[in-house]
Chain A
């Protein structure tokens, strides 16, 4: 493996001390109460704030118990490598876990899971953003997960004055839902699922998304009111 000359590097090989610890197994047999005391269909409590990064055009911070993520949106800005002229703007997304966000240390370079998640988020958001309003330019979304807990992946980019998409996940089905259009913009599922249970889970996800939407709305409205009050 070529060494990274742009970063400080430690010894060639090192491993997590928890590799040598006795393994603990998660008990999922009892669906009525999960290890953190939630019911099977219960979402984690949500904390949301917008405008946390002063340099970004739009930004948000989300915390769901032990999962914490921060997201910034930049643009519209010039496309650097102008390959072909397009009337439609470009949307890019970079999803990154910090190296310390998981139990096992992650690498600095984007790995396949992160690339995969970037594409998922991009696909979920693309229908929501009015890209035709930004010809010849690009909008960049950067998401960094500060702490990661469990299999859930929940992100939202709050784009001012565009449709706000929410993404919620339960188990291994992730659904992105556009509440104002009542349409699902992205869905991904992983693992072995029967049609019936997939349908059922999707229904549950959509209901949860609809419940999340007012929370997002409230956070945005509150931020708007705060800035207006500050300007006055």
Chain B
């Protein structure tokens, strides 16, 4: 484990020398990586990786049943230890985001549950989790109103923006903003911030993230078509 971290640090340093980053880190996905679930994906954004699985629409526990739509559940599993209040906050953000995306009214009295396992957090973890959840929902062929794409922007002390920051960028930045957009009008579904920032920085970050979100949607499309081609 220790040697692993050392290698990563060198990688980060090498990456840092390349200058300011205004592109997303490389994304790779493995759709249907698990077999027992209705949908599953392992998504890497740079070195940040998470696994998301979807069960549903399935039977719902009677006390959670909603008569006019499906109950969306999100469970977030941290890499180490039990979920803490900060993970609960993440769960709630993801659940509210996915609730808007999933066409829940098509499946009344049923449950759609998404489980996200954090496997490696090396920056932009929330974005990676949300994107993997969206891909898993696509893999499970759950009906959706629109897709969602999440992008994280870090703002440095000198107001420079870093898209899709690494862990080191995040700790050095004065604030980190995570945005989620829908795939229809690219409107804002979710904003989560950490650290102080000004209004103009928010505006700049928003435009930057929106552009980047389009490439995430493109990535979804490629991943899905690759999977469909394979199954043919």
Contact = CB atoms under 8 A, between A and B. Distances in A.
Are A and B in direct contact (Cβ within 8 Å)?
A: yes
Interface of A: 5-8
Contacts of B82: 5
B83 interface: yes
A12 to B, nearest CB: 15
Interface in B17-64: none
B95 to A, nearest CB: 17
Interface residues of B, number: 4
Interface string B54-84: 0000000000000000000000000000111
Nearest to B85: A8
B92 to A, nearest CB: 14
A7 B85 CA distance: 7
6 contacts: A5-B82, A5-B83, A5-B84, A6-B85, A7-B85, A8-B85
Interface in B80-99: 82-85
Contacts of B83: 5
A7 B86 CA distance: 10
A7 B88 CA distance: 11
Nearest to B63: A80
B220 to A, nearest CB: 34
A7 B84 CA distance: 8
Nearest to B87: A5
A54 to B, nearest CB: 26
A7 B82 CA distance: 12
Nearest to B81: A5
Nearest to B88: A6
A6 B83 CA distance: 8
A11 to B, nearest CB: 16
Contacts of A7: 85
Contacts of B84: 5
Contacts of A5: 82-84
Nearest to A80: B63
A77 to B, nearest CB: 15
Question: Which 5 residue pairs across A and B have the least CB separation, nearest first?
Answer: A5-B82, A5-B84, A8-B85, A5-B83, A6-B85
Nearest to B86: A8
Interface in B174-225: none
Nearest to A2: B82
